[in-house]
Amino acid sequence: MKLIIKKIFFTLPLLSLAIALFAQQPEQILKASGSPANPKVPMSWNRYNDYAAITEVCKKLAKAYPDLVKVESMGKSFMGKEMWVMTISDFKTGDPSKKPAMYIDGNIHSNEIQGSEFALYTAWYLAESFADTKHIQELLADKTFYIAPTINPDARDNFIHAANNANSPRSGMIPVDNDRDGSINEDGYDDLDGDGHIVFMRRKNPNGRFIADQDDPRRMISVGVDQQGEYELLGYEGIDNDGDGDVNEDGEGFYDPNRDWAWNWQPNYIQSGAYKYPFSLPENRSIADFVMKHPNIAAGQSYHNNGGMILRGPGALEDLDTYNAQDVQVYDALGNKGEELIPGYKYLVVYKDLYSVFGGELDWFYGGRGIYTFSNELWTNFLMYNKAGDSNSQATQYSFDRNLLFNDAFVNWKAFKHHQYGDIEIGGFKKSFGRLHPGFLLESDAHRNMSFTLYHAYHTPKLSVEEISEKDLGGGLKEVTAVIANKRLMPTHSSQDLKYKIEVPDMISLTGPKVIAGMIVNNRDLNITSEQKNDAENIRVPNIPGNSTVTVRWIIQNAGKYSVKVDSKKGGIASRSN
C-alpha cells in the first residue's frame, strides 16, 4: 500500500508537467481580434451551464482577478440557492460603489437560460480582456458592472436537469395548483420513454388534420379543408393524471416572475402569472433590495428569449406618460445603436409592438428607480441563415437542423404504447432547440449583445470639473466659477427620477476658503444666477444633462488653495483644485 502511494505521489508532478507541455503556450497562439487569447479561467461558450457550474465560474473569476471581480450573494432563492452577483470594476481606481454602474441579469424565466450565458460571458470578457484592451481598462476605471447570471436558479436547474420542452412553464419552483382542483403539480411532464426529452405525441387517424411533409417526413404539416389527413397531434408527451382530459396542465407551478415587480402591478385575474403581491417572490425581493442599496446603478439590462428584440417600456399603454420625451431620446439613441450592433434584432416598445405587461422588471427599474433599462429577447431565426423575412420559419428550423446541426436537435418519431391513447408515436425538437442558441452561434450572439451593454454602460454619466475661473471683487472677496461637464449621453438624473425625486440632487462643493455665498449660474452671458442661501459651500444641482454642462459660482473670502468636487449618485465623483 505504501509503495502504491509513493508511486502515485511521484507520478503526480510528472502528470502536471505533461499537461503543461501539451497546453497551448502564448508563443503558439495568434490572438484573434477582440478575444482573450490565454484566459486565466478557460471557458467554452458553446454550451449551457447549470447553477453549480455558474457558481464555480463566478468564484474562479473572483479568485483569478481579485482587483477586478468580487462575488457575493444578493439573497437566497425559494429553494435556498445563493443568488450570485459579481461586482466588476477596476478596484484600484476607486470605490466601485462611487462609480456609475450597469446592472445585468438573465434567466428570470426557467426556459430562457441563455441569458445566464450572455451575462456570464460579459463578466468573463471584462476580466479576461482587461490586461491588453485599452477600451476595457478605461471603461472599468470609470464604471462598475453588477452582473447576476441567473435570477431564477431553482427553475434553471429544473429546466436543465429534468425532462422539459422548449416552452416549459417559465415560472420558478413554488408549487401552484393551476387547475384549482386541490392537487398541486399532478400533471407534471411525463417522460414516457425516459430519454430526457419532452417532445410531441401523434397518432394515426384518417380524420386527423396533419400529414408528414414529403420533403422532410419528420415535419407535420396541416392539410387543407378538402384534403384527407393522416395524423392527429396529441400535444406534448405526457399523461392525463387527473383524468380531466388535459395533459400536463399543472407543470411545476405557473407564476411569472416578470409579473411580480412593484410598478403598475396587477393581480392574477388581470395580469396572468402574477403571484400574491409585488415582490412576493424571494428572488425578486432580493434583487430589489440590492438595487435600492446601490443608487449608483444608472443603466440596466435583462436577458430573455426569444425573437431578436431590444425592448424598452412602457409595458402597458396605461403607463405611456411615464416615458417622457427627454428620456425616450436617450432610449432611442441607445436602441438604434443596438440594432446596428446586433444584426437581426429590432428595437421595439413592449406595449406597442408586443403586448401589455403589468408588473414587469423593465418598468420597475425605470419607473421605480429612474434607471434606463432594456430587455433583450435573445435568439432569432435570422441567425440561422443570416436572412430576414423568411415566411416559413418552421421549414427553416427543419432545414437548419438538417444542414447545420446534422439532425442533432430532433428526436426521431418512434412507436410507443400509451395506456390512454393506445398506439402512438413520440418525437420532435429537443428542449435545447427553438428558443435556445445552437452551440456554434451562442458565443457570437453573446459577444454582440455584450457590446450593446458596454455601449450602454459607456454612456452612463462621465463628470469632470472642466473649468475653474476667478474674478477679484475687491475687499478681500473673490468670485469663483466652476463649469461641470457631463461628457456622455445619459444625464445624472432621468426625467422619471426628477419627476418623483427618486435620488438626491448632485452635490458640487468648494472646500478650503470661507464661502460667503453659493449659486447656480443659469445664464453666464447675462449673469443670471439662483442663490442657494443655506449651506453655500455645497451647491445642490437637480441634474447634469448628458453631453452638457452646469455652471456654479461661489463668493469666497481669504482665497488660497481650494478644491471643487462633484458628488453624484449615478454620475460618480470628480474633483479639481486651483
Output the 3-class SS for 308-374: CEEEECCCCHHHHHHCCHHHHHHHHHHHHHHHHHCCCCEEEEHHHHCCCCCCCHHHHHHHHHCCEEE
Output the 3-class SS for 465-528: EEEEEEEEEECCEEEEEEEEEECCCCCCCCHHHHHHCCCCCEEEEEECCEEEEEEEEEECCCCE
Is 443 annotated as catalytic? no
Give the residue among 267, 262, 235 at the shortest CA–CA distance from 251.
235
* Residue 376 · residue 114 · CB < 8 Å: no
Write down the catalytic residue from 377, 425, 443, 503.
377
What are the start-end ranges of the E strands in 10-156? 69-76, 82-88, 101-106, 144-148
d(CA 131, CA 408): 39
Cell (9 digits) for 401:
437542423
* Residue 292 · residue 284 · CB < 8 Å: no
d(CA 416, CA 190): 13
* Residue 373 · residue 366 · CB < 8 Å: yes
d(CA 307, CA 435): 8
DSSP string for residues in 536-567? TTEEEES---TTEEEEEEEEEES--S-EEEEE
d(CA 303, CA 442): 14
Task: Specify burial of residue 10 (Cβ count, 10 A radius: 0-12, 13-18, 19+).
Answer: exposed
* Catalytic sites, residue numbers: 377
